[in-house]
Amino acid sequence: MVQQTKSAPQTSQGLPPAPAPADPKQSLAEERQNPSFPVRELTTFIDNGPAAAEYKERVMFELERDPLWRMDNSPDLSLAQIRERTMAKVANLVHHLQTEPLDLFWQRMAVISVVDPAFWTRFGVHFGLFFGAIQGQATAEQLGYWMDKGAFTLNGLVGCFAMTELGHGSNVAGLETTATFDEETDEFVIHTPTITATKWWIGGAAHSANYSAVYAQLIVKGKRYGAKTFVVPLRDTATYKLLPGVTIGDIGKKMGRDGIDNGWIQFTYVRIPRFNMLMKHTKVSRAGDVQEPALAQLAYGALIQGRVSMVADSANMSKKALMVAIRYAAIRRQFAAVPGQLETKLLDYPIHQYRLLPLLAQTYALNFTGMEMTRVYHALMRQINGAKDGQDLTGILEGLKETHATAAGLKAFGTWNCLNTIEQCRQSLGGHGYSAYTGLSGMYTDFAVQCTWEGDNTILTLQCGRYLVSTLLEHRQSGKPLAQNVAYLARALQPVQPCPARTEADLLRTEVIREAWGAVAASAVARATARFEKALQAATSGGKKVTKDEAYEQCATLRLHAARLHCYGYLVARFADAIPRAPASVQPILTRLCLLYGTYAIQENKGEFLQSGFFNVDQIATLHDAMSTLLTQVRQDAVSLVDAFNYSDYIVNSPLGRYDGNIYEAYFNLVRANNPNHNDIPYFDKIIKPLHNRSLESEEVPQLDF
């Protein structure tokens, strides 16, 4: 390639001298000199009060000092080592479960979920899933029995939750495992009839569990009654040898969360007593009569809890990711504005602000959303638990339906956005984001599963969308009142009123932004509903009527969009609601963040706003400029805003996210400590030396002379 110049080379006079390198610690410290708000007051507000903030700090301190909880060497542990260490943590944590009030214990678990998601899963499989199934589905007598066996103390009983099968996930009704009642012996026979019926992904099955809660098709007298839950022993408690008829294997390597021992299970005609079917709802009598409850919906409560906690978890994991990315961006420098001067901090580039600060604002929004969802969930559970015999449950059921739909949508919205935040933060570290020691890559691979389990995100978003469409239809057709969180749907019955605000000052108000989100979500729900009705009216080519379910499938894309916009609006509204409850000293910064999130999200979805007619192109352009200004303002407080998240260096677990800013030294030392065998090339003699010393003969081709 001719890369040579054609003109004569020139004798060079050299460049100006290089500036002295910046001190990383100083670069970070200077960011904390003039926060526009008192950081501690913001912390206690977002941590739900001073007591909770202090308890969180105590837990962080305890974990940091316990060698069992050391995390900075985890990238180099083998699967076997990780599994063992995680089980040791389970044994360690049981102490707190039994000595600490349950609300504090859950606060402890919320910290731990950010430290070690695989552990959190391993512990949660027993307590959330197995024990949760027993609590929710056992009769009082059965619950007592399993408690005596050690279901709460893990003294004799570690359980797993055997629902999913190799060929069956989201559709529980399609499970193939059978539980056939044998009237002669008063037993159920649990059986895996095909390879696709193999219980799959069962957390705890490979190593930890000696019992399982198995979902299987109940068959009595040759008739199927749908999937019910059965407690099936897997292993001898004294030896952990598999019981007859039980085959278990290890699911092996996963994208992440290797600390949890997922396994597969096949049952070959395993007999259990009738007592082991959980019979709070459906009952099978000694004679084989099957009784089913009239109202099944109330069991949704259990689903909601998991999803609500995942919204909070999404906020917390996003905090951790942003603490690394924003502190790093305040230290890392790249390109000098003037040759010979100090390079510019990444955080001073408008594009870097645009990459990270809206995610920061979103994380605050998710935090307040998680707090509010938790409050709503507990209030609802109190209502349900306080219901008296014979009371009309219609109101409670409506609330449950709305909360169930919103929790489904927000679980999907929160986990997708958290995964995106982690990845954006990872990419913002440049090459260092690809190292296992800077934390973000492991966060991504650990977190990714959250988009799938406890309800696949796409299916959950569609569920939320279906609720929105059916709610709008019922409201329109029969005037059924709208729950508070979907009150905006009333707008869908009227033509869109374009926003009258024109100037930046008029547009940039939380009321306006909030109203805009209501208007656009209503418009999207209306569009999905129109598509649904059109599909319902059309006959298929064969002349057959389209069913309601088919019509819902036809409008699925629009339903998905509508639910997404509903969730955006929900976050904006929860953020705006939180501001007046905050101390006055932090209200201005929270307002800026709320507006930043709202305007950013409007830009990301400007097509919807223009399509709805609520904003015109001039208003969109004005809001874009307003967003740019907000980015510049929030940038000034960026480091203080992540400091306020109140996670110690131990929790952040990344040398690039250190509080003191000494990132390069810490990173270098960590890489060196985890890779001590510097000059050991085990395959030098076997592969490299022969490569260098090979004869090239075999690579030469002898030539004929004709």
Question: What residues between 389 and 428 interact with its own copies by CB under 8 A?
Answer: 389-391, 393, 426-427
**269 binding its own copies? (CB under 8 A):** no
- Cβ pair 468, 522 in contact under 8 A: no
Strand partners, 160: 212
Kindly report the CA angle at 621 between 617 and 624, in degrees rounded to 5? Answer: 140
Binding mask 42-71 for its own copies (x = CB under 8 A): ------------------------------
Tell me which of 67, 101, 244, 431 binds its own copies, using CB under 8 A: 431
By the rule CB under 8 A, 105 interacts with its own copies? no
Closest CA to 347 of 20, 27, 22, 598: 27
Q: Are 120 and 109 in contact (CB under 8 A)?
A: yes
Question: Would you name the residues annotated as active-site residues?
Answer: 454
Q: Which of 26, 185, 268, 334 binds its own copies (CB under 8 A)?
A: 334
**Binding residue count for its own copies, defined by CB under 8 A:** 187
CB of 295 to its own copies, least distance (A): 5
Q: What secondary structure does DSSP assign to 456-488, as a single string? A: -HHHHHHHHHHHHHHHHHHHHHH-PPPPGGGGG
Stretch that binds its own copies, among 49-57, 365-373, 435-443, 578-586 (CB under 8 A): 435-443
**Degrees to nearest 5, angle at CA 256 with 239 and 111:** 85
Does the annotation list 164 as a binding residue?
Answer: yes
Rule CB under 8 A: say whether 268 interacts with its own copies: no
The answer to whether 492 and 522 have CB atoms below 8 angstroms apart is yes
Q: Which stretch binds its own copies (CB under 8 A): 52-60, 330-338, 369-377, 468-476?
A: 330-338
CB of 646 to its own copies, least distance (A): 28
Site for its own copies in 72-91 (CB under 8 A): 75-76, 78-80, 83-84, 87-88, 90-91
Q: Whole-number minimum distance, CB 63 to its own copies, in Å?
A: 19
Sign of the Cα torsion 480, 484, 487, 489 reads negative
List 240, 243, 497, 583, residue binding its own copies (CB under 8 A): 240
Burial category of 3 from C-beta neighbours within 10 Å (exposed 0-12, middle 13-18, buried 19 and up): exposed
Residue type, 343: E
Tokens read off for 102: 């349950």
Give whichever of 315 and 357 is closer to its own copies, judged by the CB atom.
357
Residue in the block written with tokens 């890392």 = 332
Q: In this complex, which beta carbon is closest to its own copies, that of residue 43 or of residue 421?
A: 421
Residues in the chain, overall count: 706
Q: Is 471 annotated as a binding residue?
A: no
Please give the angle made by the CA atoms of 253, 202 and 128, to the nearest 5 degrees. Answer: 120
CB closer to its own copies out of 220 and 360:
220
Strands 223-233 and 246-250: unpaired
CA distance 272 to 142: 14
Q: Which is nearer to its own copies, 440 or 582 (CB)?
A: 440
Are the C-beta atoms of residues 298 and 267 closer than 8 Å to each other?
A: no
Phi, psi of 612 (to 5 degrees): -75, -20
Ranges within 298-317 binding its own copies (CB under 8 A): 298-299, 301-302
CB-neighbour burial class of residue 543 (10 A; exposed 0-12, middle 13-18, buried 19+): exposed
The answer to whether 578 and 368 are in contact (CB under 8 A) is yes
Binding to its own copies in span 545-564, by CB under 8 A? 547, 549-550, 553-554, 556-557, 560
Q: Report helix, strand or coil for 57.
A: helix
Q: How far is the CB of 3 from its own copies (least distance, A)?
A: 4
CB of 241 to its own copies, least distance (A): 7
Site string for its own copies, 132-171 (x = CB under 8 A): ---xx-------------x--xxxxxx-----x-xxxxxx
Rounded CA-CA distance 516/524 in Å is 12
Amino acid at residue number 146: W
Is residue 226 within the footprint of its own copies (CB under 8 A)? yes
The SS3 of residue 269 is coil
123 near its own copies (CB under 8 A): no
Query: In the bound complex, what is the minimum distance in angstroms from residue 58's beta carbon to its own copies?
Result: 19
Q: How far is the CB of 40 from its own copies (least distance, A)?
A: 32
* Closest distance of CB 654 from its own copies, Å: 13
Which residue from 102, 287, 539, 696 is in contact with its own copies, where contact means CB under 8 A? 696
Write out the two tokens for 558. Answer: 């629009």
Based on CB atoms, which residue is closest to its own copies, 268 or 547?
547
Q: Does 102 bind its own copies (CB under 8 A)?
A: no
Integer CA distances (angstroms), 470 to 22, 199, 464, 475, 488, in order: 60, 35, 10, 8, 14
> Which CB atom, from 60 or from 439, has the smaller least distance to its own copies?
439
Using CB under 8 A as the binding rule, the residues of this chain from 472 to 531 that contact its own copies are none
Where does this chain touch its own copies (CB under 8 A) — which range of 37-45, 62-70, 113-121, 696-704?
696-704
Beta carbon of residue 368, minimum distance to its own copies (angstroms, whole number): 26
For its own copies, give the closer residue by CB, 609 or 645.
Answer: 609
Candidate residues 387, 487, 493, 538; the one interacting with its own copies per rule CB under 8 A? 387
**Out of 475, 606, 635, 658, which residue is the one contacting its own copies (CB under 8 A)?**
606
Least gap, CB of 41 to its own copies (angstroms): 30
C-beta separation of 568 from 605 below 8 A: yes
C-beta separation of 186 from 158 below 8 A: no
Dist. CA 635–CA 633, nearest whole Å: 5
Q: Which is nearer to its own copies, 44 or 177 (CB)?
A: 177
Taking CB under 8 A as the criterion, the residue among 65, 502, 581, 672 binding its own copies is 672
**Dihedrals φ, ψ of 343, to 5°?**
-65, 160
Binding mask 442-481 for its own copies (x = CB under 8 A): --xx--xx-xxx--xxx---x-------------------
Q: In a 3-state reduction of DSSP, which class is residue 227?
A: strand
Of the candidates 642, 543, 617, 18, the one whose C-alpha atom is nearest the C-alpha of residue 333 is 18
Cite the annotated binding site for FAD by residue number.
164, 203
Cite the annotated binding site by residue number.
164, 203
